[in-house]
Structure 1
Amino acid sequence: MKHPLFYAKILLFGEYGIIENSRGLTLPYNAYKGTLQFSSELNEIELKSNKSLHKYAGYLKTLSLPKKFAINISQLEKDIENGMFFDSNIPQGYGVGSSGALVAAIFDKYSEKKISSDKILKTDLKDLKIVFGQMESFFHGKSSGIDPLICYMNIPLLIQPNADVDKIGLAESKVGKGAVFLINSGMPGETEPMVQIFFEKLKNEGFRKTLKEEFIKYNNNCIDSFLSRDMGSFFQNLKHLSLWALNHFTPMIPRKFLKIWKKGIETNTYYLKLCGSGGGGYILGFTQDYEATEKLLKNYKKEVVYRF
C-alpha cells in the first residue's frame, strides 16, 4: 500500500511579521519528508510517535471544525490502536515544518470530504489555513496554519496581509551562482518561548513602530523583488532586513551565530535571517555567490535549498 509523502517547508519571508499582517513567501523543501505508517511491532521511536498521535487525537476531538473540513476521529483512533505512527526524517524544532507535515498527513488521510490539493480553489485556501492553524495549535500553542498548508499543497505559496493565499510559480536555476541555503545551528529551537518573547516585545510602542515601518516594509520589498527577479533591489532590502533582525531579534538568534551574522552584513557576501521562530534549528541564508559564501562559512554545516 502506497502512503502519501508530505515534505518539509521553508518560510523564506514572513517569520513573526505574518502575525502583524506582513506578507509571507514559502516553498516546499523535498530533502525531508514524512508519511503515516503501520507496524505490528513498534520500535522505541515508532512507539513514541504512536503515543504522541494518541494525545493528538484527543486534542482533535476538542475542536469544532467546519463540516466541509471535518476529520474522522474514530477511524484515526482505531488506526492508532492498530500501530500507526508518523515515519519522518524532518528534524523537529528546526523551523522546517515537522508538525506541519504531520497535520497535513492526518488531514489528507482522515478528512471526511476528500479535497485533492491540486484542485483546491483559492477561496478554500484561506479557510483551510484557518483549520490547519487550529489543528497545529496542539504543537505550538498558536499556529497561523501556514506550515501545514504548504506541506499539504507542496507548491510555493504567497501569503497576503488579509490572510489570503495565492499559488505561485517559482522557477529555479540549477546553474545559478546565487543560492538560498540553510545553516544547521546544531540544536533544536522551541517555538512557543520564542513567540512569547516576540509578544512581550510587541507591548513596547517603539518596537511596534519599527516592526511596522521597517521590518514589514523590508520583508514585503524582498518578496516583491525576489518574485520579479530584481536582484539588485532584493539584496539591498535583504541587507536591511538582516541588520534589523540582528538589532531587534537578538534573543531569537543563537549566540554563537551572531558573529557570522554580522560578518555577512559587513562583507556583503551573504545575508542571514531567521528560519521559522529561531532560538535554534536552522538559520536561513541568501547569497549572490555561493562559492564565496562556502569559503567564508566552511566550518558550518550547510544545505542548499534553492538556486538562482
Structure 2
Amino acid sequence: MSLFTRNRRVLTAMTAASVALAGLGVATSASAGAAASTGVDSKPSDKPTIVLVHGAWADSSSFAPVTEKLQRDGYTVLAAPNPLRGLTTDAATVAAFINQATTGPVVLVGHSYGGAVITNAATQSPSVKALAYIDAFAPDEGETIVQLAGAVPGSALAADPQAVFDVVQDPNLPQGDPDLYVKKSLFRHAFAANLSKSEAAVLAASQRPVAGGALQEPSGAPAWKSLPSFFLVGTHDRIIPADGQLAMANRAGGTVVSVRADHLSMLEKPNDVANLIERAAGAGK
C-alpha cells in the first residue's frame, strides 16, 4: 500500500469522525433545546454562588468537607485561585475569577490570609453580596498581616521568623522576598493540634508557600465596611488568636460564631463552617 493511499484512508476516517461528532453536537443541542422548552433544569437557582479562597500554607482542598456539605445543600461552590504572591495581585486574581467565572450574587469566603484577600477582592467585584471569614484576617485600610498577627499575644506567626519558617528564594520573586514554608516540626502545634499526627503531617508536606512580602503589604479599603460579614472564630487558634479575630469581627460589625477548634476549622468543624456560610448566603441574596 502506498503512503498516498494510507494517508487518504486516514483523512477519510478523520472526516467521517468529524461528521459524526458534528451530528452528535446537533443532537445534543436539540435535546438541550427540548429540555429548555419543557422547563427541565431551566429554572435558575435562587442560591448565591459560594466562592472559596484558601489561605497561606494551604490549598483549596482544605475546604473539601465544607464544599461537600454546601453542594449537598444545593449550592454552586467554586474555589478561586489564590497565587499567594502579594495581597494586591492575589486580590486582583480572585476578583477577575469572580467577574468572569460566576453569574448572579456571590458569597465570598476566606480562610486565614484568604480573609485579607477577600477584603480587597470584593471591592472589585460588584456581584459579591456577603463575606464569610473563617479563622481569618479582616484588615482595615493600611494594616498588614504581620501587624495583625502581633496585635494580641499568642500567635505563632509573631515569633522569630527563623524559628517559624523555612525559606526558599523563588527566582520569580524579587531577591529578598522569599517563599515562606512553616517548619514541619511546628505545623501541627500551630495549625492543627486537634488533627491526628498523620493528617497534620500530610498537610505540612503539601503546604503551598506564601511570598514573605504578601504578609507585609498594606491592605486597601475594606469591603466589610459596606457588606454583611460573618466570622467563624476558632477558640483554640494559634495562628490568629481568638481575641484578635473577635476584635476584627467586632470592628466590622460582623456576625460571630465561635467553635472549639484550631486554625483549620474547615477540617475540624466543617458543618459549623458550612452553616455559617449558608447564613451569609441568606444575607447576601
Q: TM-score, with normalisation over the residues of structure 1?
A: 0.26
Query: Computing the radius of gyration over CA atoms, which structure comes out larger, 1 or 2?
Result: 2
